[in-house]
Copies of this chain bind each other. A is one copy, B any other.
Amino acid sequence: MCVELINTGTELLLGFTQNTHLPYLAAQLATRGLRITRQTTIGDDPAEMRATLTAAIQRADLILVTGGLGPTSDDITRDIVAEVLQRPLRLDNAVAETIRERFRKRGREMPKTNLVQAMVPEGATVLPNPNGTAPGLAIEHAGKNIFLLPGPPRELRPMFETYVLPRLSGAPVDCRIFRTASLPESQVEQLVAPALADLTGLELGYCARPGEVEVRIIGPRAAEAEPRVLAALGAHIFSTGHERMEDVVIRGLAGKTIATAESCTGGLIANRLTNVPGSSAVFLAGYVTYSNAAKIRDLGVREETLKKFGAVSEKVAREMAEGARQRAGTDYALSATGIAGPTGGTAEKPVGLVYIGLATPTSTHVQRHTLGFDRETFKFFVSQTALDMLRRELFS
C-alpha cells in the first residue's frame, strides 16, 4: 500500500513553521502497519497543488492532504481537489449551521467568508472538527482514499484519531515503548541492548528528548522482549504509553495533595501539573517566588539563609519546599531554585546550577544538578527532574 502525504502552506516553504504533521502522522499510521512513501510540501499555489494531486492520485492508494481548508483567500485545497476530481462543490447546510453555532457560542456573528468552509465536493464525507471551523473531508475516488485535513495540529490530531484512523485497514504493528527519566541515552542503551542481543529481527530504537529517553521495540518478537526491557530499566520507566510524567504524578497523588515553590522554573511545574484534567483535586497552590522578598514573605524562607547561602543553595531549596508544604497544608511540595541563564552566573554558581527539593510528610530531599541547556530547555529539564523525584517517592 502506497501512502502519500501532501502538506500545503506557504509558511512551511518559507521556513516560518515547522512541519509537525509528518512525524505525527507517521507514528499514527505505523499503528496500522502503514508507512508514508512520499511527503511533499507545496505552497498555496493552484498550479502546484493541481500537479501534485494529479501525480499523487496516479501513484498512491492513500493520500493525506493537510492545510488550506480555512476561510481566507489563500485556502484553496477544497477548490483544487474538487476541480481535479471533477466533483462539483455544494453547500452543506448542516456544516454551515455548525460553523454558525460555533461563532454564536462566542457571542459573535459568522463572517460570510466562513461559508466556503461548508462547501463539500460531491460524494465526499464530512469529518467533524470540534476544535475549529474547518471540517475535514474524506473522498473515495477510483479505489483510492483521499483525506483533506485542517492545518492546525490541535484540529488535525483529534480528527485524525477519531475519524480517519478507524477507516484505515491494516494489522497493527507490534510496537512497544518505554519512557524513562533521569538517565542519559547511552546509559539506557547500555542497560537495554545486552538484554535483547539474542532476539534477532527485533527493531530497536532510542529517542532522546530533554529529560526523557524513549526506547522503542518493533516487530513480532516485541512481546518476548517486553519483560526483559522492564527488568533492565525498572523504576527508571515512568510510562509505557501516552501518559506523560505529569499524568503519572497526578495519578500517583490520588487522595494526597501537592504544592509547588518555584524560582528558576517560573511556574512551569505548576503549569504541567495543571495541564492534567482533574488536577484540581490534588494540586492546591503554587508559589512563583522569583524575588528574594517573595521567598521570605510567601514561603517563610529565612533572610539569614538567603544571606549566608544565597538564593541558589541547598538550604533555600529545602526551606522553599518545606515552607510551601506548610503554608498550603499539603502532603507534598516541590521546589526549584537555580540559574536558568543566559546571564546571572558566577564562577562559584555558574549558569545551569540548580537545587531541586521535595518535602514529604516525613522528610525533605534536595538534589543538586549542573545542566548545560538554553533557558527554556533548562526550565523543562528541571521541572521533569522535580516531577520524577515525586514520582519515584509516590510509587516506591
Contact = CB atoms under 8 A, between A and B. Distances in A.
A328 B288 CA distance: 11
A377 interface: yes
B15 A27 contact: yes
A387 B342 CA distance: 23
A25 interface: yes
Contacts of A214: 11, 16
Given A41-B39, A42-B38, A275-B379, A111 B186 contact: yes
B13 A37 contact: yes
Interface string A252-263: 000000001010
B23 A154 contact: no
A170 interface: no
A267 interface: yes
Taken together, the copies of this chain in the complex come to 2
Given A13-B37, A287-B288, A288-B288, 15 more contacts: A13-B22, A40-B41, A44-B205, A70-B185, A72-B186, A73-B189, A113-B189, A262-B267, A266-B270, A268-B271, A275-B376, A285-B289, A285-B294, A286-B290, A294-B328
Interface string A263-303: 00111111101110111100111111111011001100000
Contacts of A279: 266, 290
B15 A74 contact: no
Contact of A72 (B41, B130, B185): B185
B266 A275 contact: yes
24 contacts: A11-B205, A14-B30, A15-B25, A16-B207, A18-B23, A19-B19, A39-B41, A70-B206, A71-B185, A74-B204, A105-B370, A113-B189, A130-B372, A262-B267, A266-B271, A266-B274, A266-B279, A267-B269, A267-B286, A270-B271, A277-B341, A284-B293, A286-B286, A288-B288
